[in-house]
Amino acid sequence: MDNRSADHDRAVFLCQANRELSRQNFLERVSRAADGFAKMGLRAGDTVAILMRNDIAFLEASLAAKAAGGVAVPINWHSTAPEITYILDDCRAQVIVGHSDLLASAGHAALPVERVLAVRSPSDVVAAYGLDPARAEIRPWMIEWDRWLMEHDVGDASFALRSDSMLYTSGTTGRPKGVRRHVPTRDQQQLIEETRKSIYGVKPGARILVPGPLYHGAPNGIAIHAAQVADSVILMERFDPEQLLHLIEKYRIDTIFMVPTMFNRLLKLEQSVRQNYDLSSLKFVLHAAAPCPVDLKRRMIEWWGPIIHEFYGGTESGPCAFCSSEQWLRYPGTVGKVVDNATLRVMDAHGNECATGQPGEIYMRLHHYPDFTYNGLDDKRREIERDGLITLGDIGYMNAEGYLFLCDRKRDMVIIGGANVYPAEIESVLLGMPGVRDCAVFGVPDEDYGERLLALVEPHDDTSLAVSDIQGFLKGRLNGFKLPRRIEIRRNLPREDSGKILKRVLRAPYWDGTGRQV
């Protein structure tokens, strides 16, 4: 090994708070864990469940499962004990790796696996979430991760031609479903790597910051592949807007994946705070996962420059549309044009392709992505396919120049007296109102019209909003039938780790007992 290579291996590669690992140390730990999984009897396609907040050990376990020929199954750590049990049973997990406090909260009885490997909840995670340090203690029925690693050998961990993590859908309609993707061929793998470089920005030399939760699709895939090829990977245990700016400056970050809620929180920082950090290293900022209000994205581009890119796709489909800042500024609101080697169509209820500007359900396929099924639910997989393409349940339309625009999720669309209303459009307008921190708009039952709109509006902490003010702001900005008939002021709306509002949690009480799934 030459001196340059040796220095590269010893340099800070993976970091979280005050914990830093060189590439060599990280790969040694992954190799030990892969050896341990293999000695447990893990075979090709077997599953390793992971129940952790963002942590270096999350990536160690994921890559070790991959190197051993298995499949990592991230579990949303907010899940209840019955939800965790369901996923463990459904994927037939041979082992679970989790933060000690989360495993203790779930309880030994809720973990139907042979081995429970516990990562002692790190001090930075304990502090970030305000946890009782006593909850981080290792219980007698747990095997301590670090001690277990040292019992196994360092070998040559290979990740070529392995399955990606099996991610479970959010479960907004019925039980969550595990997306089990086939193992790629060599040709597919080569094209996938090109997609990761061109769309995700994951490539050799990149310095990547991961602020989103690793149990989510894009942050998970980006972090795991960055850990294989990037120069450095910096994890945030929890998103904080000013801390993100600090990390960009400290580690000269050039690549980040974000969601619109993060943009919103960044723009709420005082101008003096925003100007206090050097962000000149940034080259590639990617966002997806939710519609981004036009004004919000425009302001981010004005601040960070034309380095903000967007893709449209999902766990099942991969990224099928992409747009740069320049493209978006020409067609504000677009999520991009169809990428190379992909097919995307907007179809009506009868399977006919919609005319330009006509909303319909989006069907697509990225042809070099290996096919998938829902774990044990092949019939559910067939339900979302039409003419060889699959749908994520989104409604959108194409403009004359071939750019895709989203209206809303099919399940979020509200039908009022036969007219389709897209809550995302109303939320975008509300977010432009001074004093509004965030909002959620959805349909609730109505005896006359079937559904009516309810808007829950969360003001800034130092702001007092009146319902009449909100009604006045919306009037004239929206057609009359799109105006929410009911508006409520709410503090502390429930959120995921990314900051995204848990709309299904808010909506469920209104539909309980109606016979309709939400």
pLDDT tens, position by position, 175-227: 789 999 999 999 999 999 999 999 999 999 999 999 999 999 999 999 999 99
Confirm if 392 and 317 have CB atoms less than 8 A apart: yes
**What kind and span of H or E run contains 179?**
strand 178-181
Task: Report if residue 449 sits inside a domain.
Answer: yes
pLDDT reported for residue 246? 97
CATH of the domain at 465: 3.30.300.30
Give the pLDDT confidence of 430-478 residue by residue, as tens digits: 998 999 999 999 999 887 777 899 999 999 888 889 999 999 999 988 8
DSSP string, 390-402: EEEEEEEEE-TTS
pLDDT reported for residue 173? 45
pLDDT average, residue stretch 496-501: 77
Write down the number of H helices and E strands in the chain.
18, 27
Q: Of 162, 183, 204, which residue constitutes the final position of a domain? A: 183
The one-letter code for the residue type at 176 is P
Task: Report if residue 35 sits inside a domain.
Answer: yes
374/359 Cα distance (integer angstroms): 27
Percent of the chain with pLDDT over 90: 73
Confirm if 485 and 449 have CB atoms less than 8 A apart: no
204/201 Cα distance (integer angstroms): 9
Task: Report if residue 48 sits inside a domain.
Answer: yes
Task: Report if residue 258 sits inside a domain.
Answer: no
CATH of the domain at 43: 3.40.50.980
pLDDT reported for residue 517? 47
Nearest in space to 269 (alpha carbons), one of 437, 420, 456 = 437
Give the pLDDT confidence of 357-387 residue by residue, as tens digits: 999 999 999 999 999 999 999 999 999 999 9
Q: Of 155, 183, 211, which residue constitutes the final position of a domain? A: 183
* Count of the separate structural domains present in the chain: 2
Query: What's the pTM?
Result: 0.84
Give the pLDDT confidence of 12-55 residue by residue, as tens digits: 689 998 899 999 999 999 999 999 999 999 999 999 999 999 99
* 378-379-385 Cα angle (round to 5): 95
Task: Report if residue 304 sits inside a domain.
Answer: no
pLDDT tier at 504, thresholds 50, 70, 90: confident
319/288 Cα distance (integer angstroms): 10
pLDDT tier at 289, thresholds 50, 70, 90: confident
pLDDT average, residue stretch 251-264: 93
Task: Report if residue 257 sits inside a domain.
Answer: no
pLDDT reported for residue 3? 45
Task: Report if residue 265 sits inside a domain.
Answer: no
Q: Of 183, 207, 230, which residue constitutes the final position of a domain? A: 183
Cross-strand bridge partners of residue 50? 74, 97
- b/e code 273-287 from CB counts within 10 Å (16+ = b): ebeebebeebebbbb
- Range(s) of the domain holding residue 435: 414-511
518/516 Cα distance (integer angstroms): 6
pLDDT average, residue stretch 104-133: 93
Nearest in space to 59 (alpha carbons), one of 110, 5, 119 = 119
Percent of the chain with pLDDT over 70: 94
Task: Report if residue 456 sits inside a domain.
Answer: yes
Sequence-distant (≥ 6) Cβ neighbours of residue 225 within 8 angstroms: 196, 200, 202
Cross-strand bridge partners of residue 344? 364
Give the pLDDT confidence of 2-15 residue by residue, as tens digits: 444 455 555 568 99
Confirm if 233 and 14 have CB atoms less than 8 A apart: yes
Nearest in space to 432 (alpha carbons), one of 310, 267, 241 = 267
